């Protein structure tokens, strides 16, 4: 492994590359990354650098977003087959059909969507700013929120707005149950429950804090508590333990594992830097429209 890491460091310098890793990635991938964090923030950080190559250790929609923000840079996705289980290839056509039936509706798309769906959208949002985005839209317009119905319901609850929630979502967060949370609380008395809003509404009601992955990390850092039950994908434990050395973290369920996020390996990163493949290139006509939806989000939220 040391030889592979040395090769990655050498190739990174030769290629003028930057390595991004989502916090759900394997520990060894997060260790070699220049930046770790939520997907959209990582794309913003990459865009602000003078790197010529972006190596995105995550899933495809994340690399697409990086390419949308940095079309002049080469964007690599080491795990070429890493998709997102939140949606499938039919999402774009389904969204087109729904919006054709609701021509006056506003389409809010979570950044966890393909670029083609972002291009159809009125505005994008992240898990950290979904509430702010929904709250900013005209109150007399219908809002259709894709593709995570649980995040949509969270935004609706927090804003008291009528939101048409897409009948889909993240299966990893969606499979978490109230029984799981209560069992974790019984096993770890006094531990605070930190949860991602992609969890079901009844499950969210058991949480002490609901927020994005980086929101969960910041909460743990700033809290006076020393024990936490983590209700999101288990990869976030790496960053939590790195930043909070004296605190204790327990997974809400051992089922909180995204197989697609674990497809990236050190070998694949080395190969990507060697061959400059596999590349992710968003066609210009899609890229420009998707960027507009992302820019509208930034104009409202600043992030």
Sheet holding 192-195, edge to edge: 209-210, 192-195, 227-231, 248-251
As a whole number, mean pLDDT of residues 113-134 equals 97
**Contacts of 29 by beta carbon, 8 Å cutoff, 6+ apart:** 21, 57, 264, 265, 266, 269
pLDDT of residue 246 exceeding 70, the answer is: yes
106-110 vs 143-146, strand pairing mode: parallel
As a whole number, mean pLDDT of residues 194-221 equals 98
Confidence of residue 14 (pLDDT cuts 50, 70, 90): very high
pLDDT, one tens digit per residue, over 31-67 is 999 999 999 999 999 999 999 999 999 999 999 999 9
pLDDT, one tens digit per residue, over 64-104 is 999 999 999 999 999 999 999 999 999 999 999 999 999 99
Please tell me what DSSP assigns to residue 291.
H
Give the whole-angstrom CA distance, residue 8 versus residue 26: 16
pLDDT of residue 117 exceeding 90, the answer is: yes
Homologous superfamily of the 91-170+287-301 domain (CATH): NadA-like (3.40.50.10800)
pLDDT of residue 110 exceeding 70, the answer is: yes
pLDDT of residue 302 exceeding 80, the answer is: no
User: Other C-beta atoms within 10 Å of 97: how many?
Assistant: 11
Give the whole-angstrom CA distance, residue 280 versus residue 79: 11
Residue 179 pLDDT: 98
Give the whole-angstrom CA distance, residue 122 versus residue 261: 28
As a whole number, mean pLDDT of residues 251-266 equals 97
Give the whole-angstrom CA distance, residue 280 versus residue 66: 9
As a whole number, mean pLDDT of residues 100-117 equals 97
- The dihedral sign for the CA sequence 133, 139, 145, 148: positive
| Three-class DSSP category at 124 | strand
Phi, psi of 55 (to 5 degrees): -105, 105
Confidence of residue 303 (pLDDT cuts 50, 70, 90): low
pLDDT of residue 301 exceeding 90, the answer is: no
Structure tokens at 22: 């989502």
Tell me the pLDDT of the chain averaged across its residues: 97
CATH 3.40.50.11540 fits 2-82+261-282, yes or no: no
Q: Where does the chain hold its CATH 3.40.50.10800 domain(s)?
A: 2-82+261-282, 91-170+287-301, 176-254
Residue 57 pLDDT: 98
Distances (CA, A) of 96 to 92, 116, 121, 267, 295: 6, 10, 10, 39, 21
CATH 3.40.50.10800 fits 176-254, yes or no: yes
């Amino acid at each position: 492994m040391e030889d592979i890491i040395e090769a990655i460091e050498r190739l990174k310098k030769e290629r003028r590359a930057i390595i991004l890793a989502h916090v759900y990635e394997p520990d060894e991938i997060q260790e070699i990354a220049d930046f770790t964090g939520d997907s959209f923030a990582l794309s913003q950080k990459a865009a602000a650098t003078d790197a010529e190559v972006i190596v995105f250790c995550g899933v495809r929609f994340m690399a697409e977003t990086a390419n949308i923000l940095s079309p002049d840079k080469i964007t690599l996705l080491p795990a070429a087959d890493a998709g997102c289980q939140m949606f499938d290839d039919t999402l774009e056509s389904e969204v087109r059909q729904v919006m054709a039936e609701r021509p006056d509706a506003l389409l809010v798309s979570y950044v966890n969507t393909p670029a083609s769906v972002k291009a159809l959208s009125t505005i994008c949002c992240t898990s950290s700013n979904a509430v702010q985005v929904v709250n900013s839209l005209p109150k007399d317009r219908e809002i259709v929120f894709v593709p995570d119905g649980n995040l949509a319901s969270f935004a609706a609850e927090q804003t008291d707005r009528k939101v048409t929630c897409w009948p889909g979502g993240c299966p990893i967060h969606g499979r978490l149950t109230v029984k799981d949370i209560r069992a974790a609380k019984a096993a770890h008395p006094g531990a605070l429950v930190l949860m991602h809003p992609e969890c079901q509404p009844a499950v969210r009601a058991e949480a002490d804090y609901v927020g994005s992955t980086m929101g969960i990390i910041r909460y743990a850092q700033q809290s006076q508590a020393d024990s936490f039950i983590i209700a999101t994908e288990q990869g976030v434990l790496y960053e939590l333990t790195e930043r909070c050395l004296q605190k204790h973290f327990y997974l809400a369920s051992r089922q909180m594992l995204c197989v697609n996020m674990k497809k990236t390996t050190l070998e694949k990163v080395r190969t990507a830097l060697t061959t400059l493949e596999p590349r992710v290139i968003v066609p210009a006509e899609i890229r420009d429209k998707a960027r507009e939806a992302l820019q509208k989000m930034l104009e409202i939220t600043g992030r």
